[in-house]
């Protein structure tokens, strides 16, 4: 499927980006947010952006999102089960 998003022609220039760079960043921001909210997996997010899953996960820090989003209780349970 395809989604079309209209944006002002001058927006990429204002952000000092090419239209291609801006569109990639917009797709990445959408994928990161959906991943952060737990709505999609990292694999689906990576596919949405057109990149490898590991590269997507490694890029999360640019958006202030942790690769692993576990609570202290989750971490303790993992530790206890190890």
- The pLDDT tens digits of the residues spanning 37-68 come to 999 999 999 999 999 999 999 999 999 998 87
For residue 10, being part of any structural domain is answered with no
Q: What is the mean pLDDT of the chain?
A: 91
Instruction: Confirm whether 12 is domain-assigned.
Output: no
Domain residues for 38?
20-81
- Other beta carbons within 10 angstroms of residue 60's beta carbon come to 20
Tell the residue number behind the tokens 């942790």, with chain if given.
Answer: 66
Using pLDDT thresholds of 50, 70 and 90, give the confidence band for residue 80: confident
- 73 is a domain residue: yes
State yes or no: pLDDT of 13 exceeds 90.
Answer: yes
What is the Cα–Cα distance from 46 to 13, expressed in whole angstroms?
26
Q: What is the pTM of this model?
A: 0.80
Number of domains in the chain: 1
In a domain, 68, yes or no: yes
- Residue 4 within a domain: no
């Amino acid at each position: 499927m395809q989604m079309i998003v209209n944006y002002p022609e001058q927006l990429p220039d204002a952000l000092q980006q090419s239209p291609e760079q801006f569109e990639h960043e917009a797709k990445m921001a959408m994928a990161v947010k959906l991943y952060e909210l737990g709505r999609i997996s990292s694999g689906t997010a990576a596919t949405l952006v057109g990149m490898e899953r590991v590269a997507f996960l490694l890029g999360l820090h640019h958006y202030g999102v942790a690769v692993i989003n576990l609570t202290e209780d989750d971490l303790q349970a993992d530790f206890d089960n190890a």
